[in-house]
Amino acid sequence: MIEQDQLEAQDRSDPLASKRDEFALPEDSVYLDGNSLGCLPIAARERARQVVETQWGHDLIKSWNKHSWIDLPVRIGEKIARLIGAAPGQTICCDSTSVNLFKLLSVALKMQGERCVVLSVQDNFPSDLYMVEGLRQLLGDDRVRLELCAEEAIESAMHDEVAVLMLTQVNFRTGQLLDMRRLTERAHALGILLIWDLAHSAGVLPIELDACHVDFAVGCGYKYLNGGPGAPAFAYVAQRHHAHLHQPISGWMGHASPFEFDAQYRPAANITQLLAGTPPVISMSVLDAALDVFRDVDLSQLRHKASALSELFRALVEQSPHLRDLRLLSPLLPQQRGAQLAYRHPQAYSICQALIAHNIIADFRAPDLLRFGFSPLPLRYVDIGTSVAVLIEIMRSERWREPQYAIRSKVT
Ligand X SMILES: *Cc1c(COP(=O)(O)O)cnc(C)c1O
Cis upstream peptide for 280 (omega within 30°): no
CB closer to ligand X, 172 vs 364: 172
Which residue lies nearer to ligand X by CB, 76 or 233?
233
Neighbouring residues of 126: CB distance < 8 A, sequence distance ≥ 6: none
Specify the DSSP class assigned to residue 151.
G
Q: How far is the CB of 222 from ligand X (least distance, A)?
A: 7
Q: Which residues bind ligand X (CB under 6 A)?
A: 96-98, 125, 127-128, 168, 172, 197, 199-200, 220, 233
Least separation in angstroms between residue 97's CB and ligand X is 3
Q: Which of 31, 216, 222, 381 is catalytic?
A: 222
Nearer to ligand X, 78 or 197 (CB): 197
Euclidean distance between CA atoms 325 and 313, whole angstroms: 16
**What single DSSP character describes residue 219?**
E
Asked whether 207 and 300 are in contact (CB, 8 A), the reply is no
Closer CB to ligand X, 128 or 363, in the complex? 128
Contacts for 90-93: CB closer than 8 Å, 24+ residues apart? 90/209, 90/210, 90/236, 90/237, 90/238, 90/239, 90/271, 91/234, 91/235, 91/236, 91/271, 92/234, 92/235, 92/271, 92/272, 92/274, 92/275, 93/221, 93/232, 93/233, 93/234, 93/279, 93/284, 93/287
- Minimum CB distance to ligand X smaller for 195 or for 199: 199
Q: Catalytic residue at 223?
A: yes
SS3 state at 111: helix
Tell me whether residue 371 is one of the annotated catalytic residues. Answer: yes
Alpha-carbon Rg for the chain in angstroms: 22
Is the Cβ–Cβ distance between 289 and 262 less than 8 Å? no
DSSP assignments along 233-272, one per residue: EEEEE-GGGGGG---S---GGGBSSGGG--SS--B-SSGG
Q: Which residues are paired to 168 by β-bridges?
A: 197
Nearer to ligand X, 203 or 385 (CB): 203
Cβ-proximal residues to 301 (8 Å cutoff; 6+ apart), any chain: 15, 16
Contact 250, 267 (CB under 8 A): yes
Which amino acid, one-letter code, is at 67? H
Closest distance to ligand X from the beta carbon of 131 (Å): 9
Q: Tell me the closest approach of the beta carbon of residue 344 to ligand X, in angstroms.
A: 19
Give me the catalytic one of 23, 31, 102, 125: 125
**Catalytic residue, candidates 223, 305, 314, 337:** 223
Q: Are 34 and 375 in contact (CB under 8 A)?
A: yes
Whether 197 sits among the annotated catalytic residues: the reply is yes
Q: Say which of 371, 372, 374, 405 is annotated catalytic.
A: 371
From the DSSP assignment, how many helices (H) and strands (E) are in the chain?
12, 15
CB of 218 to ligand X, least distance (A): 8
**CB nearer ligand X, residue 197 or residue 363:** 197
In whole angstroms, the minimum distance from the beta carbon of 219 to ligand X comes to: 8
CB of 98 to ligand X, least distance (A): 3
In the set 197, 215, 288, 363, the catalytic residue is 197
Q: How far apart are CA 43 and CA 46, in angstroms?
A: 5
Hey, which residues are catalytic here?
125, 197, 222-223, 371
